[in-house]
Structure 1
Amino acid sequence: MTSSPLRLAINGASGRMGQALLSLLRVDGRYELAHAVVSPGSVHDGEPVWLGQGLRYAHDWSRAPSLDAVIDFSGPAGLTAALEHCLAHGIPLVTGTTGLDAAQQARLDAAGTRIALLRAANFSLGVALLSRLLREAAAAMPEWDLEIVEAHHGRKQDAPSGTALALGHAAAAARGTTLEASAVYSREGRTGERVPGSIGFAVVRGGDIVGEHQALLIGQGERLELGHRATDRTIFARGALQAARWLVGRAAGHWQLEDVFAPLG
């Protein structure tokens, strides 16, 4: 017996991630696109999502049908509207939206007591596994020096990347400290000796690099390298879809992309 397709809403449907998700949904029978939300005033508002089909882009949630999950890659205002709809109807929410202010972050934190919620800076399943492996390695080798190197295309606006910072936070927590206390973001001139326990970051920008992250654990006479290289942007959309499928039926709470994997060992 085949199960019914998972009914999804995509919030931020006209953005780069939204369009990548729509492309996958069009050919994957495990899912049904039930609602596609764009920002108010969008040129896509009211247009057909796919030619020859009845579903149209909408700028709000007033006519949203019954949903199994919502995937959000919009912006702070868009996430706020989606979150209110999910809370009102008990719908699981997967979100990759960043840039929230303190009040929005607090609202999102509180929402985890009422709905299943999964938020990630990077929806690559490989990066999620890298984070788990780095946390274990950092805890197992607490005296080894740790450096995180990341590379992205030349158009990227921030540095280090959100993923690199997330890796740093995971490693710092595994060692019983915080990234705020241990991070070194730049080295120039006479820096002096490396501070024991610090976590260094290095950044590469150029060309069309999709995303590369490498964690170097460096001991005396040996080095452990854990890395991930993305070559196709659709991996992030695939990861978000898998996260949504996994999240349906879970208890209320804040879940991590790492939770999608079965426990190691």
Structure 2
Amino acid sequence: MTATLPIAVAGCTGRMGHMLIEAVLAADDCRLAGALDRPGSPAVGHDATAFLGQASGVLVASDLHAGLKDARFLIDFTRPEGTMAHLAVCRELGVKMIIGTTGFTDEQKAQIEAASNDIAIMMAPNMSVGVNVVLRLLDMAARALDQGYDIEIVEAHHRHKVDAPSGTALKMGEVVAAALGRDLKDCAVYGREGVTGERDPSTIGFATVRGGDVVGDHTVMFMGTGERIEITHKSSSRSTYAQGSLRAARFLAGRSHGLFGMDDVLGLA
């Protein structure tokens, strides 16, 4: 029988947290071993699966040491400041991390990389298997369409998302820029207003839409003379992120340390 993976979930009372808990409960090779929420949350001290009308015996904790003491993996889709606090305790306790949080600064990314010398970490802006296949397709398309095509990235998310562009959109831009031999920091355009002049063909443009309950839509357009190629991914459920996270946990089970991405998990690296 496959060994059971003891998994804790950060931000356990949010939309993504609930989806992750349901996925862990439904997986034969996983068990819920911890549930974290912010101090002051009314859920602290209550059963983590109360929202499902059932009892798991796992209580929601705001104390990180208490919430992680029985876990060997933490899945974290929170915010940068929360993830960095979780990182310090996971490094101390030897808990492996699956990080889906976006919006990190370069300094925070460096701290995560440093922590991977001691614990295994899988970090990706999008855990969807489909999105990561799209990233590979974008690399292929950019290499083939490297002359005469303008590149624009359009993303849409729900009204509650706090960072823009999305981490997934930025990752798409990074993949395309790298394929073209560019650095996204030097060629990205994040907004246009007023008299902007003609488009610089060396740039990669971003447009952001926020509203409603959109889970996540991303389109990369390669626009040439007489044709337009669009590569699109649309998420209709957060369950794809949850299932990808569990695949990442299974991948990390055999690793003691190191920093990995979803391309490693899926064998696309």
Q: Taking structure 2 as the reference length, what is the TM-score of the superposition?
A: 0.86
1:122 pairs with 2:126: yes
Match of 2:100 in 1: 96
Instruction: Give CA-to-partner distance per residue, 1:90-129, whole Å, 9 cap, x none.
Output: 3321112345466544321211222221112222221122
Match of 1:200 in 2: 205
1:146, 1:217 within 8 Å by CA — same for their partners in 2?
Answer: yes
Q: Distance in 2 between matches of 1:255 and 1:218?
A: 33
Structure 1 counterpart of 2:115, which letter?
A
Q: Distance in 2 between matches of 1:160 and 1:43?
A: 31
Question: Is the alpha carbon distance of 1:147 and 1:101 closer, same or farther for their aligned partners in structure 2, counting shifts above 3 Å?
Answer: closer
1:12, 1:78 within 8 Å by CA — same for their partners in 2?
Answer: no
CA displacement at 1:156 relative to structure 2: 4.0
Question: In structure 1, the residue corresponding to 2:65 is in which secondary structure?
Answer: coil
Q: Distance in 2 between matches of 1:117 and 1:9?
A: 14
1:87, 1:115 within 8 Å by CA — same for their partners in 2?
Answer: yes
Instruction: Give CA-to-partner distance per residue, 1:225-259, whole Å, 9 cap, x none.
Output: 21101111222222222222222213522211122
Match of 1:38 in 2: 37
Question: Is the alpha carbon distance of 1:238 and 1:195 closer, same or farther for their aligned partners in structure 2, counting shifts above 3 Å?
Answer: same
Q: Distance in 2 between matches of 1:142 and 1:102?
A: 28
1:181 pairs with 2:186: yes
Match of 1:243 in 2: 248
1:72 pairs with 2:76: yes
Match of 1:172 in 2: 177
CA displacement at 1:60 relative to structure 2: 2.0
Which of 52, 55, 60 lines up with 2:58 in the alignment? Answer: 55
Which of 73, 82, 89 lines up with 2:86 in the alignment? Answer: 82
Sequence identity of aligned pairs in percent? 43
Question: In structure 2, the residue corresponding to 1:35 is in which secondary structure?
Answer: strand
CA displacement at 1:49 relative to structure 2: 1.9
2:102, 2:166 within 8 Å by CA — same for their partners in 1?
Answer: no
2:65, 2:89 within 8 Å by CA — same for their partners in 1?
Answer: no
Question: In structure 2, the residue corresponding to 1:62 is in which secondary structure?
Answer: helix
Structure 2 counterpart of 1:90, which letter?
G
Question: In structure 1, the residue corresponding to 2:64 is in which secondary structure?
Answer: coil
Match of 1:106 in 2: 110
Question: Is the alpha carbon distance of 1:78 and 1:156 closer, same or farther for their aligned partners in structure 2, counting shifts above 3 Å?
Answer: closer
Which of 227, 230, 241 lines up with 1:222 in the alignment? Answer: 227
Question: For this pair of structures, how many residues does the alignment match?
Answer: 263
1:161 pairs with 2:166: yes
Question: Is the alpha carbon distance of 1:21 and 1:115 closer, same or farther for their aligned partners in structure 2, counting shifts above 3 Å?
Answer: same
CA displacement at 1:31 relative to structure 2: 0.8
CA displacement at 1:139 relative to structure 2: 2.4
User: Where do 5+ consecutive residues of structure 2 fail to align?
Assistant: none
User: Where do 5+ consecutive residues of structure 1 fail to align?
Assistant: none
